[in-house]
Structure 1
Amino acid sequence: MKAFFEGIQDLFVNGLFWPYDFFRFMENWWVANTVNWIFFALCSIAFVYWMLQLKKYNDSGEEDKSITSHSYL
Protein backbone atom coordinates (compact mmCIF):
# COMPACT_ATOMS: atom_id res chain seq x y z
CA MET A 1 0.00 0.00 0.00
CA LYS A 2 2.91 2.34 0.65
CA ALA A 3 3.98 2.13 -3.00
CA PHE A 4 0.41 2.89 -4.10
CA PHE A 5 0.26 6.12 -2.11
CA GLU A 6 3.76 7.09 -3.19
CA GLY A 7 2.59 6.62 -6.78
CA ILE A 8 -0.32 8.99 -6.16
CA GLN A 9 2.09 11.48 -4.59
CA ASP A 10 4.42 11.24 -7.57
CA LEU A 11 1.54 11.78 -10.00
CA PHE A 12 0.41 14.99 -8.35
CA VAL A 13 3.77 16.43 -7.27
CA ASN A 14 5.77 15.67 -10.41
CA GLY A 15 3.00 15.52 -12.98
CA LEU A 16 -0.18 17.49 -12.47
CA PHE A 17 1.20 20.43 -10.52
CA TRP A 18 4.19 21.25 -12.74
CA PRO A 19 2.68 24.58 -13.92
CA TYR A 20 2.59 25.75 -10.31
CA ASP A 21 6.29 24.93 -9.88
CA PHE A 22 7.02 27.14 -12.88
CA PHE A 23 4.95 30.03 -11.52
CA ARG A 24 6.34 29.71 -7.99
CA PHE A 25 9.65 31.22 -9.00
CA MET A 26 8.12 34.28 -10.64
CA GLU A 27 8.00 37.54 -8.71
CA ASN A 28 4.79 38.85 -10.26
CA TRP A 29 1.63 37.93 -8.32
CA TRP A 30 -0.65 38.47 -11.31
CA VAL A 31 1.26 36.11 -13.57
CA ALA A 32 1.57 33.51 -10.83
CA ASN A 33 -2.19 33.43 -10.26
CA THR A 34 -3.23 33.39 -13.92
CA VAL A 35 -3.84 29.64 -13.80
CA ASN A 36 -6.20 30.05 -10.84
CA TRP A 37 -8.15 32.81 -12.59
CA ILE A 38 -8.47 30.70 -15.74
CA PHE A 39 -9.82 27.75 -13.72
CA PHE A 40 -12.22 30.06 -11.90
CA ALA A 41 -13.53 31.52 -15.16
CA LEU A 42 -13.99 28.10 -16.76
CA CYS A 43 -15.81 26.72 -13.71
CA SER A 44 -18.05 29.80 -13.54
CA ILE A 45 -18.98 29.46 -17.21
CA ALA A 46 -19.68 25.74 -16.79
CA PHE A 47 -21.81 26.40 -13.69
CA VAL A 48 -23.92 29.04 -15.45
CA TYR A 49 -24.37 26.77 -18.49
CA TRP A 50 -25.44 23.84 -16.31
CA MET A 51 -27.94 25.97 -14.38
CA LEU A 52 -29.45 27.28 -17.63
CA GLN A 53 -29.81 23.72 -18.91
CA LEU A 54 -31.51 22.65 -15.67
CA LYS A 55 -33.90 25.62 -15.89
CA LYS A 56 -34.72 24.79 -19.52
CA TYR A 57 -35.46 21.17 -18.57
CA ASN A 58 -37.54 22.25 -15.57
CA ASP A 59 -39.57 24.72 -17.66
CA SER A 60 -40.30 22.11 -20.36
CA GLY A 61 -42.52 20.17 -17.92
CA GLU A 62 -41.26 16.70 -18.91
CA GLU A 63 -40.66 15.52 -15.36
CA ASP A 64 -43.48 13.80 -13.50
CA LYS A 65 -43.67 15.65 -10.18
CA SER A 66 -46.76 13.94 -8.81
CA ILE A 67 -46.48 12.33 -5.39
CA THR A 68 -47.47 8.89 -6.70
CA SER A 69 -45.13 8.90 -9.68
CA HIS A 70 -43.85 5.40 -8.80
CA SER A 71 -45.98 2.35 -8.24
CA TYR A 72 -44.18 1.42 -5.01
CA LEU A 73 -45.14 4.72 -3.43
Structure 2
Amino acid sequence: MKDFFYAIEDFFVNVALAPLAQLAKLELENWWAANLFSWVFVIITMVAFVYWMLQLKKHSDNNEEDKSISSHSFL
Protein backbone atom coordinates (compact mmCIF):
# COMPACT_ATOMS: atom_id res chain seq x y z
CA MET A 1 0.00 0.00 0.00
CA LYS A 2 2.94 2.29 0.68
CA ASP A 3 4.09 1.94 -2.93
CA PHE A 4 0.66 3.04 -4.14
CA PHE A 5 0.96 6.37 -2.31
CA TYR A 6 4.53 6.82 -3.48
CA ALA A 7 3.30 6.30 -7.05
CA ILE A 8 0.70 9.03 -6.57
CA GLU A 9 3.37 11.34 -5.15
CA ASP A 10 5.70 10.58 -8.05
CA PHE A 11 2.98 11.29 -10.61
CA PHE A 12 2.04 14.67 -9.17
CA VAL A 13 5.57 15.86 -8.42
CA ASN A 14 7.23 14.71 -11.64
CA VAL A 15 4.41 14.82 -14.20
CA ALA A 16 1.28 16.77 -13.32
CA LEU A 17 2.87 19.73 -11.53
CA ALA A 18 6.16 19.85 -13.43
CA PRO A 19 5.11 22.90 -15.51
CA LEU A 20 4.42 24.85 -12.32
CA ALA A 21 7.87 23.97 -11.03
CA GLN A 22 9.31 25.44 -14.23
CA LEU A 23 7.31 28.63 -13.57
CA ALA A 24 8.82 28.82 -10.09
CA LYS A 25 12.30 28.70 -11.62
CA LEU A 26 11.27 31.31 -14.20
CA GLU A 27 10.05 33.67 -11.48
CA LEU A 28 13.57 33.99 -10.14
CA GLU A 29 14.73 35.16 -13.55
CA ASN A 30 11.85 37.26 -14.87
CA TRP A 31 8.84 38.33 -12.79
CA TRP A 32 6.77 39.45 -15.80
CA ALA A 33 7.15 36.19 -17.68
CA ALA A 34 6.18 34.17 -14.62
CA ASN A 35 3.06 36.24 -14.00
CA LEU A 36 1.98 36.09 -17.62
CA PHE A 37 0.50 32.69 -16.80
CA SER A 38 -1.71 34.25 -14.11
CA TRP A 39 -2.72 37.21 -16.25
CA VAL A 40 -3.83 34.93 -19.08
CA PHE A 41 -6.17 33.14 -16.69
CA VAL A 42 -7.45 36.45 -15.30
CA ILE A 43 -8.25 37.68 -18.81
CA ILE A 44 -9.96 34.40 -19.75
CA THR A 45 -12.04 34.61 -16.56
CA MET A 46 -13.04 38.21 -17.25
CA VAL A 47 -14.09 37.42 -20.81
CA ALA A 48 -16.09 34.41 -19.65
CA PHE A 49 -17.78 36.49 -16.92
CA VAL A 50 -18.79 39.23 -19.37
CA TYR A 51 -20.10 36.63 -21.83
CA TRP A 52 -22.11 34.94 -19.07
CA MET A 53 -23.62 38.25 -17.91
CA LEU A 54 -24.59 39.18 -21.48
CA GLN A 55 -26.27 35.80 -21.92
CA LEU A 56 -28.18 36.25 -18.65
CA LYS A 57 -29.31 39.72 -19.74
CA LYS A 58 -30.44 38.40 -23.12
CA HIS A 59 -32.56 35.69 -21.49
CA SER A 60 -33.90 38.15 -18.93
CA ASP A 61 -34.95 40.56 -21.69
CA ASN A 62 -36.80 37.73 -23.49
CA ASN A 63 -38.79 36.92 -20.30
CA GLU A 64 -37.80 33.26 -20.54
CA GLU A 65 -37.46 32.81 -16.78
CA ASP A 66 -40.39 31.80 -14.60
CA LYS A 67 -40.46 34.56 -11.98
CA SER A 68 -43.53 33.40 -10.12
CA ILE A 69 -43.40 33.76 -6.35
CA SER A 70 -44.49 30.22 -5.53
CA SER A 71 -41.61 28.00 -4.65
CA HIS A 72 -42.52 24.32 -4.39
CA SER A 73 -45.89 22.72 -4.67
CA PHE A 74 -45.59 21.07 -1.25
CA LEU A 75 -45.22 24.47 0.44
**Fold equivalence (TM over 0.5):** yes
Within-5 A mapping of 1:1-73: 3=4, 7=8, 10-11=11-12, 13-26=13-26, 27-68=29-70, 71-73=73-75
TM-align CA RMSD: 2.6
- Percentage of pairs with the same residue: 50
TM-score of the aligned structures, taking structure 2 as reference length: 0.68
CA–CA separation in structure 1 for the residues paired with 2:54 and 2:9: 36
Q: Report the TM-score when normalising by structure 1.
A: 0.70
Structure 1: stretches of 5+ with no match in the other structure:
none
The structure with more helix, counted as a fraction of residues: 2
Q: Where in structure 1 do 4 or more consecutive aligned residues deviate above 3 Å?
A: 8-11, 13-16, 68-73
